[in-house]
Amino acid sequence: MWGLNHGYNITILDENKKKILNNTHDYQKICSTIKDMYKFVIVIIDQTKKREKNPNHIKGWGLAITDNEDEDIISDYSTNKFMDKWEEQFSKFHEELNQILNNENYWR
Protein backbone atom coordinates (compact mmCIF):
# COMPACT_ATOMS: atom_id res chain seq x y z
CA MET A 1 0.00 0.00 0.00
CA TRP A 2 2.87 2.37 0.82
CA GLY A 3 4.35 2.00 -2.67
CA LEU A 4 0.95 2.45 -4.29
CA ASN A 5 0.35 5.60 -2.24
CA HIS A 6 3.62 6.98 -3.60
CA GLY A 7 2.38 6.43 -7.17
CA TYR A 8 4.28 3.24 -7.89
CA ASN A 9 3.00 -0.02 -9.34
CA ILE A 10 3.50 -3.55 -8.04
CA THR A 11 4.58 -6.79 -9.68
CA ILE A 12 4.24 -10.06 -7.74
CA LEU A 13 6.58 -12.99 -8.37
CA ASP A 14 6.04 -16.47 -6.97
CA GLU A 15 8.68 -18.44 -5.08
CA ASN A 16 10.22 -19.51 -8.41
CA LYS A 17 10.40 -15.85 -9.54
CA LYS A 18 7.65 -16.38 -12.13
CA LYS A 19 5.45 -13.31 -12.66
CA ILE A 20 2.04 -13.89 -11.13
CA LEU A 21 0.79 -10.30 -11.34
CA ASN A 22 2.46 -7.79 -13.63
CA ASN A 23 2.86 -4.06 -13.03
CA THR A 24 -0.47 -3.10 -11.46
CA HIS A 25 -1.80 -0.31 -9.30
CA ASP A 26 -4.93 -2.31 -8.34
CA TYR A 27 -4.77 -2.88 -4.56
CA GLN A 28 -7.64 -5.38 -4.48
CA LYS A 29 -6.06 -7.44 -7.27
CA ILE A 30 -2.74 -7.46 -5.39
CA CYS A 31 -4.44 -8.59 -2.17
CA SER A 32 -6.42 -11.35 -3.86
CA THR A 33 -3.26 -12.55 -5.62
CA ILE A 34 -1.12 -12.86 -2.48
CA LYS A 35 -3.78 -13.94 0.04
CA ASP A 36 -3.04 -17.68 -0.33
CA MET A 37 0.66 -17.41 -1.17
CA TYR A 38 3.16 -18.26 1.56
CA LYS A 39 6.25 -16.99 -0.26
CA PHE A 40 6.41 -14.25 -2.88
CA VAL A 41 8.42 -11.26 -4.06
CA ILE A 42 6.91 -7.77 -4.16
CA VAL A 43 8.56 -5.61 -6.84
CA ILE A 44 7.92 -1.86 -6.70
CA ILE A 45 7.99 -0.22 -10.12
CA ASP A 46 8.35 3.45 -11.03
CA GLN A 47 6.12 3.88 -14.09
CA THR A 48 7.68 7.23 -15.04
CA LYS A 49 11.10 5.61 -15.42
CA LYS A 50 9.63 2.64 -17.32
CA ARG A 51 8.09 4.98 -19.90
CA GLU A 52 11.51 6.56 -20.39
CA LYS A 53 12.93 3.09 -21.15
CA ASN A 54 15.11 3.54 -18.08
CA PRO A 55 16.51 0.23 -16.78
CA ASN A 56 16.27 1.63 -13.25
CA HIS A 57 12.46 1.57 -13.24
CA ILE A 58 12.49 -0.96 -10.38
CA LYS A 59 12.53 0.97 -7.09
CA GLY A 60 13.12 -2.20 -5.09
CA TRP A 61 11.82 -5.59 -4.03
CA GLY A 62 10.92 -7.44 -0.86
CA LEU A 63 10.73 -11.18 -0.24
CA ALA A 64 7.66 -12.02 1.85
CA ILE A 65 7.32 -15.32 3.69
CA THR A 66 3.96 -15.26 5.40
CA ASP A 67 4.26 -18.54 7.30
CA ASN A 68 7.39 -17.65 9.28
CA GLU A 69 7.06 -18.77 12.89
CA ASP A 70 8.46 -15.51 14.20
CA GLU A 71 7.05 -12.06 13.53
CA ASP A 72 9.14 -11.37 10.44
CA ILE A 73 7.18 -11.46 7.22
CA ILE A 74 9.69 -9.67 5.00
CA SER A 75 12.76 -11.86 5.16
CA ASP A 76 14.87 -9.95 2.64
CA TYR A 77 14.67 -6.80 0.53
CA SER A 78 16.83 -4.78 -1.83
CA THR A 79 18.88 -2.13 -0.10
CA ASN A 80 18.60 1.47 -1.11
CA LYS A 81 17.21 4.59 0.56
CA PHE A 82 13.74 4.05 -0.87
CA MET A 83 13.49 0.45 0.34
CA ASP A 84 14.94 1.34 3.74
CA LYS A 85 12.03 3.78 4.17
CA TRP A 86 9.64 1.10 2.94
CA GLU A 87 10.99 -1.44 5.44
CA GLU A 88 10.83 1.10 8.27
CA GLN A 89 7.14 1.87 7.68
CA PHE A 90 6.34 -1.83 7.11
CA SER A 91 7.96 -2.84 10.40
CA LYS A 92 6.10 -0.09 12.24
CA PHE A 93 2.80 -1.16 10.68
CA HIS A 94 3.48 -4.81 11.51
CA GLU A 95 4.25 -3.96 15.17
CA GLU A 96 1.02 -1.95 15.46
CA LEU A 97 -0.96 -4.76 13.88
CA ASN A 98 0.54 -7.31 16.29
CA GLN A 99 -0.36 -5.11 19.26
CA ILE A 100 -3.95 -4.95 18.06
CA LEU A 101 -4.20 -8.68 17.34
CA ASN A 102 -2.53 -9.64 20.63
CA ASN A 103 -4.76 -7.35 22.67
CA GLU A 104 -7.30 -9.63 24.38
CA ASN A 105 -9.82 -6.78 24.53
CA TYR A 106 -9.74 -6.49 20.74
CA TRP A 107 -11.55 -9.80 20.31
CA ARG A 108 -14.35 -9.03 22.80
- Model-level pTM? 0.75
Q: What is the pLDDT of residue 88?
A: 85
Q: What is the pLDDT of residue 29?
A: 95
Dump pLDDT digits (tens) for 51-93: 556 556 889 888 888 776 666 566 677 888 988 888 888 778 7
Sign of CA dihedral 51, 57, 62, 63: positive
Distance, in Å, from the CA atom of 82 to the CA atom of 34, rounded to the nearest integer, reads 23
The CA distance from 33 to 44, in Å, is 15
Residue 18 pLDDT more than 90?
A: yes
